[in-house]
Amino acid sequence: MGTVAVQELKQKQAEQEALITGAEAIAVACKLADVDVVTAYPIRPYDTVVQYISQLVADGEMDCEYIAAEGEHSQFEIVKHASMCGARVFCGSSGVGWMYAMECLTVTPALRVPMVAMVGNRALDDPGAFGVEHNDALSVRDLGWNLIWVDSAQECLDTALLAYRIAEDRRMMVPVAISCDGSFLTHSQALVKIPTAEQVKRFLPRYDRGELLLHPDNVISIAPQCNEDWVMEIRRSNYAVTERALDVIGECYADFEQVFGRKIGNPFFEEYMTEDAEVVLVGMGTLSTPARVAIRKMREEGRKVGFVRLRWFRPFPAEALAKCLRRFKAIGVVDRDYSLGSPYLSGVLATEIRTALYPGSGPKPPVLGFICGLGGREVLVPDIEKMTGFVSQAAAGESVPLTQWIGLRE
Amino acid sequence: MNISSEARPAQKLEPFKGVKKVALEEYFTSGHRTCQGCFSAQTMRLLAKAAGPRTVVLGSTGCMYVANTSYYTTPWGVPWTHTQLGSSGSAALGAAAAFKAQMRKGKIADEPINVIAVCGDGGGADMGLGAISATMLHPAYNLLILMYDNESYANTDIQISGTSPYGANTSFSTPGKVKRIMNQRWKKNMAGLIAAGHPTAKYVGTAVSSQPMPVMNQVRKALSAGGPTFLHVLAPCPKGWDYDPILSRELGELAVTTGIFPLYEVVEGKLEYLGKTKQIVEGRYTRKPVREYLLKQGRFSHFIDDDIEFFQSKIDEMWNRWLIPGVMPVLKDLA
């Protein structure tokens, strides 16, 4: 595991570029963020991150307690308690491993623990598949986790630093899960700008748990049995976090741009060739790669098409996204997930976007749902063209099914 | 950079030399809502008193959470947090790791802090066994896992756990018209299991909460050991065992004198029997018949003589045939 990043870090130079994978970029961010406790448990593709971290620890490049747990449940409970005792923590999982930790995933936001986790998105069993599907991370969407999907190794590193800043903001104190598409992102190398420790220190203040700290100096009882007397008020305080989350995230991104001198723009979603577009596709994660290629190709053919890549799924930027999407004649939502029995049998994202568009008196363009790329199946340029074709038909007033599976063997 | 795999120094807690030397301060006080005669709550009081103020307690779901620690009426005078049912091991590991890392990096004051995770028999011997086992493998972390064993899931309506005695009547094992013995399982030998499988454990012990001085001093010994430690405390339960609360102390004593619950500790691999158990092993005390223990409890009221004889024969086996009497259930005659 003698990695490029490890060697680069040893040189301790000013900001530099390294050719690293998405997983390695997250490991480098953990080192830069001076994480105190890291837990590991093997499951592909998440485990590559801790393989890199274990090497950084072994080489004396990263000073943390590094614990290989005996299962994901313990993995998440160890870091949850470490965070409650004031330590900055990192862990993560993939697929059914994430589901094995589900009990811990429910209590982490409830206890106001600003854990940062990485989800190497992977299909849930059964049958077994290593490839990407988004159902693992999406399973916690109602529980108070902040969920972001990234699409490049650079965005992995940047987002991990942002995630600590956002999660540990006193107005938040809730966890962030960074979703990285299995293989396509976790195991693909790209050139990444690695900031200096000084820059990171300037951007990321020390984690301060304040009056919530579990330490002999702070005699409190945390999460005693409440029942109907107080549970509702306590839930409401977590809900209040979601009311301010979009603003806090916006602030943190603005600071990030200032400190690191790199422009990210709208933190919540990224638009590609949408200025004069008539129809757009919307999706998350590495789907953006074939989508951009296909859109450039279709643009050459004179078709006014664009792509919107959603980053933050929780908090869901409903107003801003609805404002953006109402400009188009029709919208196609590409789900790398399934939501069996859902409204119109659509994927999760399609249902969320229809919901986002419903309030208000603005235009309500037709929203088509596409389910594709499951189990790690590659989404190809012709798939994107095919989906865009259906969206164009809907824009022209033709009747098109609300949900379709794309790239399915006939 | 010092990334040490060594444990940091633990607190040095000398044993209380006699009841008059016990600290006056209480760190587990009023506010809990446990039953009259609850010896699990008694264990919590002894634990907190023995550990003192530089302590954090991680309490997994169980009686000592649901009945014991309620919003706005917490009995805890040391920091306490709820921990998931199967998480006592992970909780202790996480807290100990957090303190260790932050002390090494100079982020918090460098001092020995007692990290104590508390679990019941359901949380410890059933659901949390894997995490406790994993935690006992980490010599670099100072922590104590205390399992208070009231031999059932006692706050959810008294259901059998892995430590419920053979044949006990619980709400998951009520005797019926055809089957008299619904719980066919023999009590899980937790301390023996932890000691046998985890040579890295610095201290493994058993105690009974009817004996306050040994419980407190065993807690102090475990917390001073430096490394992962485990203490199994038998805690008589009037509700779950179905007896008059006035008998809690007596039943604790009978569990020892009948030989059902052996008292011992394993310190860095060395076994020492304690109290009456030591006398039994050395032949200085004759075990009382288990009948005296069983017939005082409603949970065994459906037993007929055959059941009592079977129970007695299994206890006799513990003492006469186990390779290490009361501790290691590999039979001598097969060795």
Could you read off the pLDDT of A330-343 as tens digits, one per residue?
999 999 999 999 99
3-class SS letters over chain B: CCCCCCCCCCCCCCCCCCHHHCCCCCCECCCCCCCCCCHHHHHHHHHHHHHCCCEEEEEECCHHHHCCCECCCCCECCCEEEECCCCHHHHHHHHHHHHHHHHHCCCCCCCCCEEEEEEEHHHHHHHCHHHHHHHCCCCCCCEEEEEEECCCECCCCCECCCCCCCCCCCCCCCCCCCCCCCCCCCCCCHHHHHHHHCCCCCEEEEEECCCHHHHHHHHHHHHHCCCEEEEEEECCCHHHHCCCHHHHHHHHHHHHHCCCCCCEEEECCEEEECHHHHHHHCCCCCCCCHHHHHCCCHHHCCCCHHHHHHHHHHHHHHHHCEEECCCEEEEHHHC
Regarding whether A16 and A133 lie in a shared domain, the answer is yes
Regarding whether A280 and A254 lie in a shared domain, the answer is no
Q: In which band, very low, low, confident or very high, does the pLDDT at B3 lie, cut at 50, 70 and 90?
A: very low
Final residue before a domain boundary, out of A260, A284, A302: A260
**Which of B69, B93, B133 has the CB atom closest to A67's CB atom?**
B93
**For a pLDDT cut of 90, what percent of chain A falls above it?**
94
Regarding whether A250 and A131 lie in a shared domain, the answer is yes
A396 within 8 A of A309, measured Cβ to Cβ: no
Would B129 be classed as within a structural domain? yes
Distance between A91 CA and the closest CA of chain B, angstroms: 12
User: Average pLDDT in the A27-34 region?
Assistant: 98
> Does the pLDDT of residue B259 top 80, yes or no?
yes
Name the residue in chain B with its Cα closest to that of A57.
Answer: B3
Burial B68-90 (b: 16+ CB within 10 A, else e): bbbeeebbbbbbbbbbbbbbbbb
Beta strand B203-208 with B264-267 is: antiparallel
Q: Do A69 and B134 touch (CB under 8 A)?
A: yes
Cα separations (Å) of A374 from A46, B21, B252?
A: 18, 68, 59
Range of the domain at A297: 269-405
Provide, as residue numbers in chain A, all residues whose Cβ is less than 8 Å from the Cβ of B54.
216
Task: Specify the pLDDT at position A69.
Answer: 98
Q: Report d(CA B173, CA B299) in Å as an integer.
A: 10
Would B13 be classed as within a structural domain? no
Q: Report d(CA A104, CA A114) in Å as an integer.
A: 13
Final residue before a domain boundary, out of A231, A260, A289: A260
Range of the domain at B287: 24-334
Largest CA distance in chain A: 68
Q: Do A78 and B79 touch (CB under 8 A)?
A: no
Q: Do A78 and B71 touch (CB under 8 A)?
A: no
Task: Specify the pLDDT at position A238.
Answer: 95
CATH of the domain at A118: 3.40.50.970
Q: In which band, very low, low, confident or very high, does the pLDDT at B6 lie, cut at 50, 70 and 90?
A: confident
Beta strand A403-405 with A367-371 is: parallel
- Number of domains making up chain A: 2
Q: Do A60 and B3 touch (CB under 8 A)?
A: yes
How is residue B91 written in tokens? 């909780």
Would B18 be classed as within a structural domain? no
**Which of A65, A104, A222 has the CB atom closest to B84's CB atom?**
A104
Q: Do B107 and A225 touch (CB under 8 A)?
A: no
Task: Specify the pLDDT at position B7.
Answer: 83
Task: Specify the pLDDT at position A7.
Answer: 54
A306 sits in which H/E element: strand A305-310
Would A180 be classed as within a structural domain? yes
Would B110 be classed as within a structural domain? yes
Distance between A265 CA and the closest CA of chain B, angstroms: 35
> Does the pLDDT of residue A272 top 50, yes or no?
yes
| Mean of all residue pLDDT scores within chain A | 95
Would A298 be classed as within a structural domain? yes
The closest of A158, A135, A149 to A285, measured between CA atoms, is: A149
Final residue before a domain boundary, out of A207, A232, A260: A260
Would B4 be classed as within a structural domain? no
Task: Specify the pLDDT at position A14.
Answer: 66
Provide, as residue numbers in chain A, all residues whose Cβ is less than 8 Å from the Cβ of B48.
none
Q: Do A221 and B69 touch (CB under 8 A)?
A: yes
ipTM of the predicted structure?
Answer: 0.96
Provide, as residue numbers in chain A, all residues whose Cβ is less than 8 Å from the Cβ of B100.
65
Q: Do B95 and A82 touch (CB under 8 A)?
A: yes
Distance between A218 CA and the closest CA of chain B, angstroms: 7
Task: Specify the pLDDT at position A13.
Answer: 52
> Does the pLDDT of residue B2 top 50, yes or no?
no
Would A368 be classed as within a structural domain? yes
Q: Do B102 and A216 touch (CB under 8 A)?
A: no
Site from A72, A77, A217 to mutate, B interface, most B CB atoms within 10 angstroms: A77
Q: Do B77 and A103 touch (CB under 8 A)?
A: no
Provide, as residue numbers in chain A, all residues whose Cβ is less than 8 Å from the Cβ of B80.
220-222
> Does the pLDDT of residue A12 top 70, yes or no?
no
Regarding whether A296 and A253 lie in a shared domain, the answer is no
Site from B76, B102, B126, B155 to mutate, A interface, most A CB atoms within 10 angstroms: B102
Q: In which band, very low, low, confident or very high, does the pLDDT at B151 lie, cut at 50, 70 and 90?
A: very high
Regarding whether A335 and A229 lie in a shared domain, the answer is no
Would A55 be classed as within a structural domain? yes
Would B7 be classed as within a structural domain? no
Distance between A189 CA and the closest CA of chain B, angstroms: 30
pTM for this predicted structure: 0.96
Task: Specify the pLDDT at position A1.
Answer: 43
Provide, as residue numbers in chain B, all residues whose Cβ is less than 8 Å from the Cβ of A88.
none
Distance between A139 CA and the closest CA of chain B, angstroms: 20
**Which of A37, A70, A223 has the CB atom closest to B130's CB atom?**
A70
Beta-carbon neighbour count of residue A88 at 10 Å? 28
Cα separations (Å) of A267 from A256, A351, B288?
A: 11, 22, 74
| Torsion A396-A397-A403-A405 (CA) sign | negative
How is residue B13 written in tokens? 């807690």
- For chain A, state the CA radius of gyration: 21
Task: Specify the pLDDT at position A146.
Answer: 98
Q: In which band, very low, low, confident or very high, does the pLDDT at A5 lie, cut at 50, 70 and 90?
A: low
Would A319 be classed as within a structural domain? yes
How is residue A324 written in tokens? 């953006």
Regarding whether A334 and A220 lie in a shared domain, the answer is no
Bridge partners (DSSP) of residue B106 are none
- Number of domains making up chain B: 1
Provide, as residue numbers in chain B, all residues whose Cβ is less than 8 Å from the Cβ of A215.
56, 79, 108, 113
Distance between A320 CA and the closest CA of chain B, angstroms: 38
- For B323: left if phi > 0, alpha if psi spans -120 to 50, otherwise beta; the answer is alpha
The closest of A330, A325, A339 to A399, measured between CA atoms, is: A330
Regarding whether A251 and A128 lie in a shared domain, the answer is yes
Regarding whether A255 and A282 lie in a shared domain, the answer is no
Which tens digits make up the pLDDT trace of B261-301? 999 999 999 999 999 999 999 999 999 999 999 999 999 99
Distance between A59 CA and the closest CA of chain B, angstroms: 10
Q: In which band, very low, low, confident or very high, does the pLDDT at B116 lie, cut at 50, 70 and 90?
A: very high
Name the residue in chain A with its Cα closest to that of B140.
Answer: A65
Output phi, psi for A371, to 5 deg: -110, 120
Which tens digits make up the pLDDT trace of A142-177? 999 999 999 999 999 999 999 999 999 999 999 999
Which tens digits make up the pLDDT trace of B42-62? 999 999 999 999 999 999 999
Beta-carbon neighbour count of residue A181 at 10 Å? 30
Higher pLDDT, A14 or B72: B72
Site from A35, A37, A38, A65 to mutate, B interface, most B CB atoms within 10 angstroms: A65
Stated length of chain B: 335
Secondary structure letter of residue A225 according to DSSP: B
**For a pLDDT cut of 70, what percent of chain B falls above it?**
98
3-state SS assignment for residue A331: strand
Would A410 be classed as within a structural domain? no
How is residue A316 written in tokens? 């869901």
Provide, as residue numbers in chain A, all residues whose Cβ is less than 8 Å from the Cβ of B110.
none
| Mean of all residue pLDDT scores within chain B | 96
A191 sits in which H/E element: strand A189-194
Regarding whether A233 and A279 lie in a shared domain, the answer is no
Regarding whether A227 and A139 lie in a shared domain, the answer is yes
CATH of the domain at B158: 3.40.50.970
Which tens digits make up the pLDDT trace of A57-110? 999 999 999 999 999 999 999 999 999 999 999 999 999 999 999 999 999 999
Regarding whether A379 and A339 lie in a shared domain, the answer is yes
B212 within 8 A of B46, measured Cβ to Cβ: yes
Q: In which band, very low, low, confident or very high, does the pLDDT at A8 lie, cut at 50, 70 and 90?
A: low
CATH of the domain at A307: 3.40.50.920
Would A397 be classed as within a structural domain? yes
How is residue B279 written in tokens? 């006398």
Which tens digits make up the pLDDT trace of B310-325? 999 999 999 999 999 9
Cα separations (Å) of A288 from A19, A194, A222, B183?
A: 20, 23, 43, 58
Which tens digits make up the pLDDT trace of A212-237? 999 999 999 999 999 889 999 999 99
Q: In which band, very low, low, confident or very high, does the pLDDT at A262 lie, cut at 50, 70 and 90?
A: very high
Distance between B206 CA and the closest CA of chain A, angstroms: 25
Regarding whether A189 and A289 lie in a shared domain, the answer is no
